[in-house]
Chains A and B, each alone.
Chain A
Amino acid sequence: MRSWIPLLLVFAFLVPATLPASQPALPNADDPVLEARLNTLAADLRCVVCQNETLAESRASLALDLREEIREMMRAGLSDTAVVESLVDRYGDFVLYRPPLKPLTYALWGGPAAFLFIGFALAAAALYRRRAIPGTEDISPDTLAQASRLLQHPDSIPSGSVTEPTSPSPPQDTR
């Protein structure tokens, strides 16, 4: 039967979807080593126009330009740190997804730890305050002694004095 022909057609239409869209091929195939270096480096750099993308994944034209610029610097023999430095010189620490530790970024790096510490401190304080079980302060020692006796010897509960736990009594109408 020829039932597979329509299916094949459908797949044929899907082929273009697997091809890289829109951008013309960049001059990158000539040096796969350099391209790999570029990609690892660009994954940690922010695309400055589309601020929540990395330079590696962005399709913005400025990102393409910047990648080309980085390629050129690498071809000129600059080390990764030198490349990053030259970008920081122009765009500031903002291009780095891992900003360096310095006075301006103390709050950024220390913030999460500080908040975690504050959270633990608050929790500890709350637990410390609750050490004493609320509501037990004004129970007379006699009653407590009786309770512990009953807990140790459940058999000694006089019949009729303590009833089986039942469903709570219906709420009283307080209106």
Chain B
Amino acid sequence: MRRWIPLLLVIALGAFLYLGLFLNPKEVPSPLVGKPAPEFTLPVVGRPGETFSPAELHGQVWLLNIWAPWCAICLKEHRVFRELIGPEVPVYGLTWKDLDREAAPLLARDGNPYVKAVDDVEGRVAIRYGVTVTPETFVIDRAGVIRMKHVGPITPQVWEQKFRPLLRELRA
């Protein structure tokens, strides 16, 4: 029995390292989950003079998607929003650091997947949401509390497995 101990230790270490291969270091647990979504008021992209703030959506379940016109994956994700997610739940966009002012023409050309997209050109609101990469998506409940943060694009599979069950629960 004794002679097997080193082998077992090596197998255990190997198992740890193997599992480590599938961890995503970008997926940092957000301390914001379970806390009220930070309040802000920002201009709406493509609608001069109009502003939006999360308080307007009290009583609704909604998504806040952090994106940027220079983020190719975000633009791919827009299709998922248009075709799959938009009809199920209102999606709002936070346009992060659009320094080249590309967001408005881009949304006008390709179709706007958001109910409204706000313009966070300095990235100050994104900091309040603890944003590190684009895209990121927050699920916000009727009381205005963040219930989930998803890092990376939402694919149909992710939507099915991660979002739908939570939305069903939040709307029950």
Contact = CB atoms under 8 A, between A and B. Distances in A.
A65 B122 contact: yes
B102 to A, nearest CB: 16
Contacts of A88: 31
Chain A: number of interface residues, binned into ranges:
10 to 19
B25 A90 contact: no
Main SS at interface, chain A: helix
Contacts of A62: 123, 127, 131-132
Interface string B120-151: 00111001111111000000000000000000
A92 B25 CA distance: 14
Contact of B132 (A49, A69, A89, A93): A49
25 contacts: A48-B132, A49-B132, A49-B133, A61-B123, A65-B124, A65-B127, A66-B127, A69-B124, A69-B127, A89-B31, A89-B35, A90-B31, A90-B127, A90-B128, A90-B129, A90-B130, A91-B31, A91-B130, A91-B132, A92-B28, A92-B29, A92-B30, A92-B31, A93-B31, A94-B29
Interface of A: 48-49, 51, 61-62, 65-66, 69, 88-94
A89 B33 CA distance: 10
A94 B123 CA distance: 20
B58 to A, nearest CB: 22
Contact of A94 (B28, B35, B124, B133): B28
B32 interface: yes
A88 B31 CA distance: 8
Given A48-B28, A90-B31, 19 more contacts: A48-B130, A48-B132, A49-B132, A49-B133, A51-B25, A61-B97, A62-B123, A62-B131, A65-B122, A89-B35, A90-B128, A90-B129, A90-B130, A91-B30, A91-B31, A91-B130, A92-B29, A92-B31, A94-B28
Contacts of B31: 88-93
